[in-house]
Amino acid sequence: MSTTPPTSAPTAAPSAPAPATVTLTIDGQTVTVPKGTTILEAAKTIGTKVPHYCYHPGLSSPAMCRLCLVEVEGAPKPQPGCVTTVADNQVVRTVSDKALGNRQGVLEFYLVNHPLDCPICDMSGECDLQNYVHAEGREHGRGVEPKRVFGRDDFGGDVLFYGDRCVMCTRCVRFMSEVEKDERLTVVERGNRSVIDTFFDEGLDGTHWSGNIVDICPVGALVSKAFLHKARAWDLEHTPSVCASCSQGCNVELHTRDNVVQRVKPRENLDVNGWWMCDYGRADYEWMNEGDRIEAPLVRQADGSSKAVAWKEALGGLLARAKELQGRPVKAVVSARASNEDLGALAELVGALGGGEIVYRSPRSAEEIVLQGFPTLARRKDLAPNVKGAELLGMHRVGADDATGGLDKVRAHDGIVVVLGDALADQDERFGASAALYVYVGTQLPVAARAAHVVLPVTTHAEQEGTFTNHAGRVQRFWPALTAPGMARPAWLVLGALVGELSGEAVPRTAADAYAALAEAVPAFGGLAYPKLGARGALPMISGAAVSSGAKGA
């Protein structure tokens, strides 16, 4: 039974309105933070990371891992930094002998039953147990007892569970119950027999967000089946990007090795996706690694065959023909997976040729999948990243929800036909056959591009710099993670060069130039430039004020 009496009475009801900020000292540094901030978050503001496992800013705080205990002057016991709120004149020590000694002790406890199979653990290199123990753990272990063994379990979905590596932080359980709000995981048993488990055989199957538990698991207890033993963490390059699988625009990182995307991870952005992303977006990256790419410009010869030529030759011939046909109506088909810069350049090209109609086709799902505990995040119905961008540029949607049909008029058009990015999967080799000039701009060569006079190889968003506009109008940048194959170039560069020649305007040299040109030409993109967008994007300035997306982090 309890051997220590409660240390203090319940806090009295607040009286006078308290000041909005609190000033305290952390490791000798004076810190001023909003009232109600926890010590752990206050320490972050001066660059001090207090080690922790169970705390995650997107989840409730059970204060159970006991790693973030810090010394607070006047408190009889060390206090958990994750739930102890700051107070005026508080003196906190996170690296004192006491605090360090405590952490060393807790870390030793973690190792009592930990398998330390780092050499074959996918988390190795980015593991918070490895990192903390290396930084602050005991030099030599004292454990000689046999270790507890749980073994492995397939949790369903993309998730494998290595029970022996679990540090019992319950982040995974809390994510499923508090964020996805679909309780699929629980702690079974108690004491050091506690183990994470699923309820029924279905496990995580049928959930939409469970991939996130692999990210937030601080160790290698939850690992991705898709990534299992694929690459070592230290061999991966991380490139900030934007998920291209729906119009939410989750901020992500593409992790690559040897010019291959190995996995996709969410990147924190409280205005868009918090710390999360859906399982569809996470799994949708193999297409970026496809090898059957168009590697050189192709020009159709008199005998109907195609010849690979240099860029100069392809564009030279194309310009000559375009000038002859200038004034003939243009019909263009674009993909909503193309960047704002690419679409903007295409719109300019159509204008320079004398104008015409630009349509896009894009798949739509019947339902939105909302992340219940962070409802500003949903897998949107529009399954392409830049539908909003295309709409803002006056392009309009044709075809069915599976992105087929709607191209009858383009197919039979006898003027100029330009296709950007649409794979034309539902079309045959007669597509564009009656066009006076048919230009196909894409990454792969479909049968429906056989009639094209010129085929121009371009890059995917994973190979170029650019921006997408998400469903809420937020413009967000992405960066090249892969080297483009062969002679493929970004569409904005290729189309921009043609526009320059046709109109005499300056040719954009960088993606930033291309965006600047777009911002000047189209008010809906106005008021923004690359430096201002940063890594987390922004809403365009419309009549001086940023449009609020209403999105807010949990």
Partner 1 sequence: MAYPYVSDKEARVVSQGFGDPKQRRIDTYVERGGYGALKKAFGLSPDAVVDVVKASGLRGRGGAGFPTGVKWSFMPKQPTKPHYLLCNADESEPGTFKDRELMRWNPHQLIEGCLIGAYAIRAKHVYIYCRGEFFETNQVLARALEDAYAKGYVGKNILGSGNDIDVTVHQGAGAYICGEETGLMSSLEGRRGLPRVKPPFPAAYGAFGMPTTINNVETLCAVPHIVANGGDWYRQWGSEKSPGTKLFCVSGHVNKPGNYELPLGFPLASLIEDVCGGMRDGNSLKAVIPGGSSVPILNAEEAMSCKLDYEGCVTAGSMLGCASVIVMDHTTDIVKAVRRMVDFYAHESCGQCTPCREGSSWTAQIMRRIEDGDGTEADLDTLMQITQQMVGTTICVLSDSVAPPVQSSIKKFRGEYLARMKAARSTEVPVAVPAGVA
Contact positions toward ligand SF4, by CB under 6 A? 114, 116-118, 121, 123-124, 127, 129-130, 165-172, 196, 217-222
Pairing of strands 21-26, 466-469: unpaired
Q: Which residues pair with 38 in a beta bridge?
A: 85
User: Could you say which of 95, 187, 233, 516 contacts partner 1 (CB under 8 A)?
Assistant: 187
Nearest to 437 by CA among 302, 536, 329, 530: 329
Q: Which C-beta is closer to ligand FMN: that of 190 or that of 229?
A: 190
CB of 60 to ligand FMN, least distance (A): 23
Look up residue 311 and give its amino acid: W
Q: Which C-beta is closer to partner 1: that of 108 or that of 391?
A: 108
Nearest to 466 by CA among 475, 458, 453, 457: 475
For 24, the 3-state DSSP assignment is: strand
CB of 537 to partner 1, least distance (A): 37
x/- mask, partner 1, residues 144-183, rule CB under 8 A, reads: -xx-x------------------xx---------------
**Could you give the C-alpha distances from 201 to 5, 182, 198, in angstroms and in order?**
45, 15, 8
Task: Tell me the HSE value of 253 on the side-chain side, using a 13 A CA sphere.
Answer: 14
Q: Which C-beta is closer to ligand SF4: that of 114 or that of 265?
A: 114
CB of 9 to partner 1, least distance (A): 6
Tell me how crowded residue 396 is: count the other CB atoms within 10 A of its CB: 11
Which partner, ligand FMN, partner 1, ligand SF4, none, binds residue 123 by CB below 5 to 8 Å per kind? ligand SF4
Q: Which C-beta is closer to partner 1: that of 138 or that of 552?
A: 138
List binders of ligand FMN among 172-201 (CB under 6 A). none
Q: Which C-beta is closer to ligand SF4: that of 118 or that of 516?
A: 118
List binders of partner 1 among 11-40 (CB under 8 A). 11
Q: Are 500 and 507 in contact (CB under 8 A)?
A: yes
**Could you give the C-alpha distances from 237 to 226, 229, 264, 409, in angstroms and in order?**
18, 16, 11, 45
Q: What is the residue whose two structure tokens read 């109600």?
A: 36
- Residue 213 sits at φ, ψ, to 5 deg, of -70, -25
Task: Give residue 241's Cα distance to chain centre.
Answer: 6
User: Could you say which of 76, 151, 304, 544 contacts partner 1 (CB under 8 A)?
Assistant: 76
User: Could you say which of 192, 259, 483, 503 contacts partner 1 (CB under 8 A)?
Assistant: 192
Size of the site for partner 1 (CB under 8 A): 43
State the burial class of residue 96 (Cβ atoms within 10 Å of its Cβ: 0-12, 13-18, 19+).
Answer: middle
Q: Which C-beta is closer to ligand FMN: that of 3 or that of 15?
A: 3
List binders of partner 1 among 83-112 (CB under 8 A). 83, 102, 105-106, 108-110, 112
Q: Which C-beta is closer to ligand SF4: that of 84 or that of 470?
A: 84
Pairing of strands 251-257, 260-266: antiparallel
Q: Which C-beta is closer to ligand FMN: that of 140 or that of 190?
A: 190
Of the candidate spans 61-69, 237-245, 272-280, 367-375, the one that interacts with partner 1 by CB under 8 A turns out to be 61-69
Q: Which C-beta is closer to ligand FMN: that of 4 or that of 11?
A: 4
Quote the CA–CA distance of 357 and 352 in Å, as a whole number.
13
Which partner, ligand FMN, ligand SF4, partner 1, none, binds residue 11 by CB below 5 to 8 Å per kind? partner 1
x/- mask, ligand FMN, residues 2-41, rule CB under 6 A, reads: x---------------------------------------
Which partner, partner 1, ligand FMN, ligand SF4, none, binds residue 83 by CB below 5 to 8 Å per kind? partner 1
CB-based closest residue to ligand FMN: 2
| DSSP track, 110-150 | HHHS----GGG-TTTTS-HHHHHHHHHS-SS----SPPP--
Task: Report helix, strand and coil shares of the chain as percent, to nearest 5.
Answer: 25, 20, 55
| DSSP track, 267-282 | --BTTTTBT---HHHH
Q: Which C-beta is closer to ligand SF4: that of 168 or that of 546?
A: 168
Which partner, ligand FMN, ligand SF4, partner 1, none, binds residue 388 by CB below 5 to 8 Å per kind? none
State the burial class of residue 146 (Cβ atoms within 10 Å of its Cβ: 0-12, 13-18, 19+).
Answer: exposed
Can you give the binding site for partner 1, defined by CB under 8 A? 1-6, 9-11, 62-67, 69, 76-78, 80, 83, 102, 105-106, 108-110, 112-113, 142-143, 145-146, 148, 167-168, 187, 189-194
Q: Which residues bind ligand FMN (CB under 6 A)?
A: 1-2
